[in-house]
Structure 1
Amino acid sequence: MSAVMITRKVRKWEKLPGKNTFCCDGRVMMARQKGVFYLTLFLIIGTCSLFFAFECPYLAVNLSPAIPVFAALLFLFVMAMLLRTSFSDPGVLPRALPEEATFIEMEIEAANGNVPAGQRPPPRIRNVQINNQIVKLKYCYTCKIFRPPRASHCSICDNCVDRFDHHCPWVGNCVGKRNYRYFYLFTLSLSLLTIYIFTFDIVHVVMRSVDSGFLNTLKETPGTVLEVLVCFFTLWSVVGLTGFHTYLISLNQTTNEDIKGSWSGKNRVQNPYSHKNIIKNCCEVLCGPAYPSVLDRRGLMQEDSPASETSPPSSSSMNSVPQTTKTTAPLIPNEHTPDDVKPSIADSAEKTPSPKEEESPAPKLPPLASPETDAETSIIKDKAH
């Protein structure tokens, strides 16, 4: 059995390690666990649909037509920020190539020397200086790289993410260097949308209660009651999350650093990334440059793959399909050759002459007598008698 190797060009996103899913030819990048993301879409779209169906017609006529217009614009902005956060590369760092990983391992072994048996090797770290302060770069055993400052390895996506903040299941993606500002704008706009809908739900109930009474209004507008309940329970979590990230942005700090206490431990190490100014920190995080992706997801690479496998044909296929390729090599039986195609010893003995038979000449036979010669010989014998 033999295989023919062909070289074809594939997109690099098809061969990227990690636990991510890609759509639209690598343009959309998300985590594999997207169940909570669909729940987020359902809650936002469902709540806004109820608001546009039950409250907006009444409020546009009796209060102002600008209410549904502003709600629609706010809804579109929330969805745009959500999709921008969920479908983008958060800042995934490429893994080291085999040659680079081998070189890094050799450098580490040369620096650490021979470790005695039974002793733990020293931690794999490198020290860099940022704003006159020493920052340690940790080695990632999965990606085989020394992670840049503020980077961390996400166990859910199985990738190192630059300026890793956290993995958010509500958006179905990691939040890092390239999509943090969009995540913050999503939480901020979602808080405003939730407050907006909750406020005008109350206004709608109050205005209708003046004419129909409170209980009759609740019976006539069950959708409003459902909206009030959903907005009431989601308002605290969304607004609280927005306030927490506003606090982190003012300090130029990430959620990962805050949880680990990187800049508030026993040593009281100051944050080297903070400008000691709230406005400067907010401008750097929210108005800084847009960093390009370093993955080159849609780049082309060559891949060798087997095209087809060929096996010796069986006797039935030899009779039915004409053979177009002639070979001069003898058929050598092996474990892949069918039994009905393997040549037997008797067949090989009949078909293959021995060397002696090929060298020895054929014996010369006497010429055969013709019928006329036999008749003349018999007449001569009769005359002699």
Structure 2
Amino acid sequence: MTPGSGSGPMKDCEYSQISTHSSSSPMESPHKKKKPAPKRKWEVFPGRNKFFCNGRIMMARQTGVFYLTLVLILVTSGLFFAFDCPYLSENITPAIPAIGGILFFFVMGTLLRTSFSDPGVLPRATPDEAADLERQIGNTEDIANGSSSGGYRPPPRTKEVIINGQTVKLKYCFTCKIFRPPRASHCSLCDNCVERFDHHCPWVGNCVGKRNYRFFYMFILSLSFLTVFIFAFVITHVILRSQQTGFLNALKDSPASVLEAVVCFFSVWSIVGLSGFHTYLISSNQTTNEDIKGSWSNKRGKENYNPYSYGNIFTNCCAALCGPLSPSLIDRRGFIQPDTPQLAGPSNGITMYGATQSQSNMAAATPLLQSEPSITSEELPLPGKTTISGPCATLTLGQPTPPSSMPNLTSDSGLTDMIPLKEEHEGHQFLTPEEAPSPPGMLPSGSPIIHSHTMHVLSLASQDSLHEDSVRGLVKLSSV
């Protein structure tokens, strides 16, 4: 519109229309609130662990020694491939660097697989599960102790199960609020219960348990071969060079060989010894934790024989190294499921407490749509009233009970005209749906009830002019 066209009132009218259209109602927010992004379970994990790559990598919190392991392997292998392999490949065989490369990649792969995986952490009990378990434990201890005495401390919380004829105690974990399965233990460094717990290894930066023990064993075994391989061929390189140019000149020509020999010499004993120890554990189907505590004996005839051993070295090795890998129980990359919000009540001014929507629908529509001899309904508060005194009474002849959300309507007119009733000698009942004609616009008996409040029933009944007086009385009473 141009400034010279139209009159003043017209401009005001248009201005008010634009202003009303642009203003937002008080019930609507001008900016929609963004829903918070769902969190993954690793972000709120209760244990002392570190996660990387969106929860795909799981490690212990203390990883300094793990980085030292990486540096030692990478530096020693790198020096070997850079200073020794060219001479050995030229003077002996090209297979030496090829075999060394295969061993190196196998060592690195098993190390990272051991360090970055879930060792078999057991999920902690939810608050409801913990409360229920505490209640069961309390009842059991009260029964065992008789009456709860003042200064008496209950015995340790344990359960006993029988595995292959051997009694095994399941201990209660006060941190995770669970009874630990057999062979499980709580790691104090990671603050987790680990299934088939072997030990916490700082060199790999993780616990060693059911899900990564085979990779740990293959790591130390392959590392033993790599260490022996590097040490042997470093010595061979130095000897061959010393035969040509002398020992001192050989050291000057390849100074890295000295460093490699020193590192391998001091580490080969511990690595090879550790590999032999775990080979013994696998052959007897034991864990480091059980062996240190002396839990089981290898002799079958003794009382504390190992119930987990198959009695055969080959079978024990196959069970530990070739069995199926169990899935992770903590689902660290799964999303946290928020609590399901409760459905809001109807927004027609009538607030409902203590009853579901279906119950309120049934209470409102039953007198007009049901053919039951007696009914009850939930108490629903009305505007201006706190409670209803009691449930509906038994239906009698000529006196149908009004909806539970309204007062008694027998003193006013005419609700009896809406549904004709029939007298019977044995009792008073509504007519069957075939015998009682339904008013226009009402649902037939047996159809699903979808109305959310009584006023909707009134709007249906108001379509029939024959019930005008009854509807007027209902509306009058409902406004009280």
TM band (smaller chain): 0.7 to 0.9
Please tell me whether the aligned partners of residues 7 and 303 of structure 1 are also in contact (alpha carbons under 8 angstroms). no
Given residue 105 of structure 2, which amino acid in structure 1 is its aligned partner? L
1:31 is aligned, of 60, 63, 69, to: 60
Alignment root-mean-square deviation, CA: 1.6
- 1:147 corresponds to 2:176: no
Aligned partner (choices 67, 73, 86) of residue 44 of structure 1: 73
In the alignment, does 2:254 pair up with 1:221?
yes
1:15 aligns with 2:47: no
Contact 1:10-1:303 at 8 Å conserved across structures: no
| Alignment match, 2:110 | 81
Within 5 Å, which residues of 2 pair with 1:229-268? 229-264=262-297, 268=303
1:296 partner letter: D
* Distance of 1:53 and 1:233 partners within structure 2: 22
Please say if 1:282 is aligned against 2:317.
yes
1:181 paired residue among 205, 214, 218: 214
Deviation at 1:268, TM superposition (A): 4.5
The residue aligned with 1:320 is none
Per-residue deviation, 1:298: 1.1
Query: 5+ unaligned residues in a row in structure 1: which ranges?
Result: 305-385
Residue identity opposite 2:320 in structure 1: V
More strand by proportion, 1 or 2? 1
Partners of 1:85 and 1:173 within 8 A in 2: yes
Partner AA of 1:13 in structure 2: W
CA contact (8 A) 1:154 1:167 kept: yes
CA change 1:303–1:213 in 2 (3 A) is: same
1:205-236 alpha-carbon deviations (Å, 9 max, x no partner): 11111111112212221100110000000000
In the alignment, the residues of structure 2 paired with residue 38 and residue 7 of structure 1 have an alpha-carbon distance, to the nearest angstrom, of 36
Q: In the alignment, which of 218, 223, 232 is matched to residue 190 of structure 1?
A: 223
Q: Which structure has the higher relative contact order (CA within 8 Å, separation 6+)?
A: 1
2: CA distance between counterparts of 1:37 and 1:121? 42
- Assess if the C-alpha contact under 8 Å between 1:205 and 1:217 holds in 2: yes
Cα distance in 2 for residues equivalent to 1:214 and 1:162: 54
Identity fraction in percent: 66
TM-score, normalised via structure 2 length: 0.61
State the distance in 2 between where 1:148 and 1:105 align: 17
Higher helix fraction: Structure 1 or Structure 2? Answer: 1
Query: Could you tell me which residue of structure 2 aligns to residue 63 of structure 1?
Result: 92
TM-score normalized by the length of structure 1: 0.76
The answer on 1:293 being equivalent to 2:293 is no
Partners of 1:90 and 1:18 lie apart in 2 by 13
Letter of the structure 2 residue corresponding to residue 92 of structure 1 = V
Residue 8 of structure 1 deviates from its aligned partner by 4.0
Pick closer, same or farther for the CA change 1:5–1:121 going to 2, 3 Å. farther
In structure 2, the partner of 1:97 is: 126
Match for residue 305 of structure 2? 270
Indicate the SS of the match to 2:79.
helix
Residue 375 of structure 2 corresponds to: none
State the shift of 1:302 in Å: 4.1
Deviation at 1:281, TM superposition (A): 0.5
Q: Which residue of 2 aligns with 1:112?
A: 141
Give structure 1 regions of 4+ aligned residues with deviation exceeding 6 angstroms. Answer: none
State the 1:21 CA deviation: 0.6
Amino acid at match of 1:150: R
Supply the distance in 2 between the matched residues of 1:84 and 1:116 (Cα, whole angstroms).
Answer: 52
CA contact (8 A) 1:152 1:161 kept: yes
Q: State the secondary structure of the residue aligned to 1:300.
A: coil
Q: Is the 8 A contact 1:257 1:263 kept in 2?
A: yes
Q: Aligned with 1:301: secondary structure?
A: coil
Whole-angstrom distance in 2 between the partners of 1:302 and 1:277? 46
